[in-house]
Amino acid sequence: MQIADKKVIPDEITVRIEKLSNLGLGIAKVDGYVIFVENTCPDDIVKIKLTKKNKNFAKAYPIEFIEESPHRIKPFCPMHKVCGSCQLGHIDYNYQLQIKKEIVEDAMRSIYGYEIKVNDVIPSPKVTEYRRKIQYPISQTKDSKRILAGYYKTASHELVNIKHCPIQPHYCDEIIEFIRQTAFELGVSGYVEKTHKGLLRHVLIRSSAYNNENLVVLVVNSDKIQECTKALARKIYTECKNISGVCVNYNNQKTNFILGKKTEVVEGKGFIEEKLCGKIFKIGAETFFQVNPESAENIFNYVKEYIKNNFKKPEILDAYAGIAAFGICLSDAAGKITSVEEVEASVKLAKEIIEENKIDNIEVFTGDTAEFCGKAIKNGIKYDISVIDPPRKGCSEESLENILKLTKQTIIYVSCNPATLARDLKYLRGKGCEIDFVQPFDMFPQTYHIENVAIISVP
């Protein structure tokens, strides 16, 4: 491989890993040429084999570790090398936190482009068994048609049949194993992506940290329920422990989306209960809810403390609200809260939760944030604080502009994507805002993901 100044990089070469990329890949440089190396750790000295080579960078995999980084640990998951879910599982937890802080700082430096204070990452209360939203793709073996359930290998749709996943509650392994065996016995076939044939395509579990109850969702390649699916749901509900209910979701499209448009409750209840900040929440099959409730509670409490320390019963806009988790957790510290969310089912659930928790200072609206805020501006409405928590793609400029116009003092921006957060902070800075600081939280131990709260003063 020849690089710019006519130097040639051989296909096999020994490098030192300098840092990790935002996707958890090791970064090595040879005469300034960047090589991304999978399954490595900063300070590994490693012999690598180059695979994809581009003009500006190459990808590689390790073939021999010459000197292992002092931050390496033995991965606690036996499937670590084959499953693509825990990119940092071979790195000690304190160092993972340091890496994540650097990922946020790098995004701010390269995209936001100005000096910004990034605090140390607040760790997750749990580093294993924390993930309470499980989504296993399902398939079947070619000859014996036994059911496979697990995660995909990195950057592929090759299924790894996972019997034990240490970042999920251990009893979810038992539920999945029961489904593997029982689906096979009842003749429920596993979905084969290539041919778009087979019935069961995904199993989802929403698992409660509050009472350990589980909601199971069977996603089927069909538009109506089959007798064998009904029988499977019945057996899961009656024979597995701690099942609050079983739903069936219909998805017969050739798509990467997990859920189709229609979900039916076929056994028990269509939700689990979770307790956060002293309030009881209901989480349904399609409801957005943070996957790590213990870490999410840290974020809600952090934002609440910030508000209590700096405001007296403010009026708050809670945008991109989901089931109004922020609104509900902040209700004790607020005068009035207005929540807006575009998914009707989440708004319906939010209203029920608000009523059941006897909260009387929150109003929830269905709608698009930009449009809702546009109307509020026309009606002369203003909020002291806006808490915004958009999806990974961040906010549209229209949305940011409108939120800015109706916020009197502070925007609290909660984000699961440092790159889109940095982009949106740059936009807000261009409109005269000051970015006070960014506080990262580790919501996803063992992975490269990181959640951030940015505090923004409005001019």
User: Which range of residues in 163-171, 207-215, 247-255, 384-392 is near ligand SAM by CB under 6 A?
Assistant: 384-392
Indicate the residue type of 396: S
Q: Choose the catalytic residue: 165, 247, 416, 433.
A: 416
Count the Cβ atoms, other than its own, within 10 Å of residue 412: 22
User: Which range of residues in 64-72, 87-95, 386-394, 400-408 is near ligand SAM by CB under 6 A?
Assistant: 386-394
Nearer to ligand SAM, 21 or 396 (CB): 396
Token pair of 238 as six digits: 């009656």
Nearer to ligand SAM, 130 or 320 (CB): 320
CA separation for the pair 208, 154 (Å, rounded): 28
Shortest Å distance, C-beta 192 to ligand SAM? 31
Shortest Å distance, C-beta 235 to ligand SAM? 32
Query: How many residues does the structure list for the chain?
Result: 459
Q: Is 128 helix (H, G, I), strand (E, B) or coil?
A: coil
Contact set for ligand SAM, span 260-289 (CB under 6 A): 288-289
Nearer to ligand SAM, 33 or 281 (CB): 281
Q: Is residue 391 a contact residue for ligand SAM (CB under 6 A)?
A: yes
CA separation for the pair 198, 189 (Å, rounded): 5
Token pair of 257 as six digits: 């989306």
User: Which range of residues in 22-30, 247-255, 306-314, 383-391 is near ligand SAM by CB under 6 A?
Assistant: 383-391
Nearer to ligand SAM, 123 or 374 (CB): 374
Shortest Å distance, C-beta 96 to ligand SAM? 22
User: Which residue's C-beta sits nearest to ligand SAM?
Assistant: 322
Shortest Å distance, C-beta 414 to ligand SAM? 7
Nearer to ligand SAM, 166 or 322 (CB): 322
> Using alpha carbons only, what angle is made at residue 210 by residues 204 and 215, rounded to the nearest 5 degrees?
25
Contact set for ligand SAM, span 312-371 (CB under 6 A): 320-322, 325-326, 340-343, 346, 368-369
Nearer to ligand SAM, 229 or 447 (CB): 447
Q: What is the 3-state secondary structure (H, E, C) of 34-66?
A: EEEECCCCCCCEEEEEEEEECCCEEEEEEEEEE
CA distances for 34 relative to 14, 48, 58, 122, angstroms: 13, 13, 7, 31
User: Which range of residues in 59-67, 208-216, 389-397, 428-436 is near ligand SAM by CB under 6 A?
Assistant: 389-397
Contact criterion met (CB below 8 Å) for 216 and 243: yes
Count the Cβ atoms, other than its own, within 10 Å of residue 18: 12
Structural element, H or E, at residue 453: strand 451-457
CA separation for the pair 320, 173 (Å, rounded): 32
Shortest Å distance, C-beta 385 to ligand SAM? 14
Which letter does DSSP use for residue 415 in this model?
Answer: E
Q: Of 357, 373, 365, whose CA–CA distance to 339 is shortest?
A: 365
Shortest Å distance, C-beta 419 to ligand SAM? 15
Q: Which residues are 88's β-sheet partners?
A: none
Shortest Å distance, C-beta 394 to ligand SAM? 10
Contact criterion met (CB below 8 Å) for 249 and 260: yes
Q: Is residue 389 a contact residue for ligand SAM (CB under 6 A)?
A: yes
Q: Is residue 444 a contact residue for ligand SAM (CB under 6 A)?
A: no
Nearer to ligand SAM, 366 or 409 (CB): 366
Q: Is 41 among the residues known to form the active site? A: no
Site residue total, ligand SAM (CB under 6 A): 18
CA separation for the pair 308, 317 (Å, rounded): 16
CA separation for the pair 358, 339 (Å, rounded): 16
CA separation for the pair 416, 395 (Å, rounded): 12
Looking at the annotation, which residues are catalytic? Answer: 416
Binding interface with ligand SAM (CB under 6 A): 288-290, 320-322, 325-326, 340-343, 346, 368-369, 389-391
